[in-house]
A and B are shown apart, each in its own frame.
Chain A
């Protein structure tokens, strides 16, 4: 067997940099606009309803909440991830995309979809929140636009698969470079996972919103939606994991602790992140307790690769810190390069993610879920996961990525470090208050400043939500401003532009067993597990479909 080294020498062309840059630009603009709604919602909790001054631009709290969810959770993430996966594929494999036109078509499809979604959202004709549960009915353009965003991401995925296949053919027996492997795996998982909402929209919501059928089956729609809804969070999370596993150790001056365990974790995510959707439907009617219980068990199983991740990432960081002279059981943490904003962002993201993970285990715990279901706990939870583990990591990535793509230096790195801490502090206040409110029974998705049943004792926590939300808003503005000033700054000598950080593995990747670098058995396993965990109940619901719930505008 030949042991060949990973080629990392490939330099991105200007065209490739610009193409990736477009993804990041759309992502950051979505984050900016979506986050403008953040303080409007959080201030409302302590009685300051700014929406009344914003008519006719925004009509109400729920329109703002829909924009916040769609732009931040769906658009910012998807565009950033697909752009980042372009980078991990090209840079990881050390070769250009085999069919760049495919990726171009994919990107423009996504962008067309985004515009099509944005119009009804801004006109107030799609105030259905980002879960768009029927029979609340949005304009057809909203459903079609979302479909195009997903289809565009599929098409870009095909571009990655073709490039990966080409590399495989030229390098038989060689372990695929980790970042390319992991990015392609995430896109493969995404293809399977999004079949749920694709079927929901194409067979039910789209024909219904254009008037071909007059009613829907809301429970079946929920089952389709959550088929996609949970793996969606892993689609967000895995690119952050790619950075934590294979980039952050390099930035901290170390290596990836274990290539084989990193791959095992990713395969387990492919295997078990889809057949777990009923844990979002624990309190639903129409689904037997037994199936909910099975999905609870599988959700516990998907917690295992996250535990593996915690170990490998922390071990890699400890190794790096000790190289830098760090000492002690936990004292080494201080030796990490906290003054690098990209590192501090991802370390802080990782710290808060531990609490997100613990909360997630509560959510997954079958009957314990009834305590927090549909309460403020849930947005409190996912502001630690998607809005911190993912978003703050993406912010950290962009602190080297945007300078790398634009051939510039990061504008005021110290300011960027403060930005990451501002996010961290704001999120601790916001998220803790939301978790506490949830335990006290406060519902999610509700302008609590107007709700008649809110007891006096919630007031302090509601105020903390407002304060945390305000701090987070400042952090978003600081981030976007840093990005703006960076790309508007002068071009610098290529030697001053940050490189793509790619960590070597402590053991040579060629020593990783071959079964951890082959797609077929794992894909078959994932599909079999989905058929077992979803097949019977899905068949039951589809064969008993009752299209008897007419649409109602919000």
Chain B
């Protein structure tokens, strides 16, 4: 690392160690970016995207809106849709029960302020914004209780806002 002060012409004056460090840095970032890209677009570990826009003033009361009757709907064997309303300071429904191995498409919206919807120990994590529908798909392949909690400050009762996904053995539990 000798200073190159003997040179008098303008130049970047990059030290060999420094050049190697730059190559390493760029290489590392390219590898990481490739990995998250493959995981996202080829293996399906995706972030939420654009779903429908709604009117937060009517979305939970308009009979044509699926959010007027929040809850779990069976689409076919092992396939479900869950419509969840996040409002200050609770979720509707408070409990979602599915047999293990079910693929659930979760739709969440808010009629009031912003909320979060994070299902513990899963990759489900969404910002809930009034006027928008947040959507993610997930296959619950472990039996157990997975609380969903509000992760965005929504007012004085924020800390008490949660619900639970119950993943049960087929045939056990409630009305599925």
Contacts and interface: CB of A to CB of B under 8 A. Distances in A.
Contacts of A452: 159-160, 162
A286 interface: yes
A374 B127 CA distance: 9
B56 to A, nearest CB: 5
A283 B9 CA distance: 50
A216 B138 CA distance: 32
B114 A289 contact: no
B5 A289 contact: no
A452 B127 CA distance: 21
Interface in A252-278: 257-258, 260-261, 264
B33 A307 contact: no
B114 A133 contact: yes
B152 A453 contact: no
A375 B25 contact: no
Among A62, A135, A366, A508, chain B packs the most CB atoms within 10 A around the CB of A366
Contacts of B129: 218-219, 222, 284-286
Contacts of B158: 62, 445-446
Interface in A273-303: 281-289, 292-293, 296-297, 300-301, 303
Contact of B47 (A286, A308, A311, A370): A370
Contact of B118 (A361, A374, A544, A554): A374
Contact of B57 (A129, A282, A548): A548
Contacts of B105: none
A367 B47 contact: yes
A259 to B, nearest CB: 8
Contacts of B11: 260, 511, 513
Interface in B111-140: 112-114, 116, 118, 120-121, 123-135
Contacts of A554: 155-156
A513 B9 CA distance: 9
B160 A552 contact: no
Contacts of A444: 151
Contacts of A550: 57
Contact of A507 (B13, B21, B37): B13
Nearest to B130: A549
B125 A374 contact: yes
Interface in A188-222: 217-219, 222
Contacts of B124: 370
Binding site secondary structure of chain B:
loop
A301 B30 CA distance: 10
A285 B132 contact: yes
A297 B22 CA distance: 17
User: Which range contains the number of B residues in contact with the other chain?
Assistant: 35 or more
B117 to A, nearest CB: 9
Contacts of B39: 367
B5 A508 contact: yes
Nearest to A258: B13
A285 B56 CA distance: 14
A56 B156 CA distance: 16
A218 B114 contact: yes
A373 B123 CA distance: 10
Interface string B46-58: 1111110101110
A285 B32 contact: no
A315 B18 contact: yes
Nearest to A510: B10
A446 B1 contact: no
Contacts of A371: 123, 125
B104 to A, nearest CB: 16
Contacts of A546: 53, 55, 131
Nearest to B12: A260
B159 A448 contact: yes
A549 B131 contact: yes
Nearest to A282: B47
A304 B18 contact: no
A450 interface: yes
A136 B3 CA distance: 57
Interface in A225-266: 257-258, 260-261, 264
B15 interface: yes
A319 interface: yes
A451 B159 contact: yes
Contacts of B134: 283-285
B75 interface: no
Contacts of B15: 257-258, 315
B1 A283 contact: no
A60 interface: yes
B76 interface: no
A329 to B, nearest CB: 13
Contacts of B41: 293
A369 interface: yes
Interface string B25-44: 11001001100110111000
A510 B11 CA distance: 10
A373 B128 CA distance: 13
Contact of A441 (B48, B120, B130): B120
B56 A548 contact: yes
A453 B165 CA distance: 13
B72 interface: no
Among B50, B147, B159, chain A packs the most CB atoms within 10 A around the CB of B159
B14 interface: yes
Contacts of B149: 441, 443, 451, 453
Nearest to B146: A441
A546 B133 CA distance: 14
B36 to A, nearest CB: 5
Give the 6 A-B residue pairs with the shortest CB-CB distance, closest first: A374-B151, A285-B132, A307-B25, A443-B151, A506-B3, A285-B134
Given A285-B51, A296-B33, 10 more contacts: A65-B153, A133-B114, A135-B113, A218-B114, A281-B127, A315-B15, A367-B40, A368-B36, A506-B3, A507-B3
26 contacts: A133-B113, A135-B112, A218-B130, A260-B13, A264-B12, A282-B47, A283-B126, A285-B132, A288-B49, A293-B37, A293-B40, A301-B29, A304-B25, A308-B25, A366-B47, A367-B40, A368-B36, A370-B125, A373-B118, A441-B118, A446-B150, A446-B158, A451-B162, A508-B5, A513-B11, A548-B57
Interface of B: 1, 3-5, 7-15, 17-18, 21-22, 25-26, 29, 32-33, 36-37, 39-41, 45-51, 53, 55-57, 88, 112-114, 116, 118, 120-121, 123-135, 147, 149-156, 158-160, 162
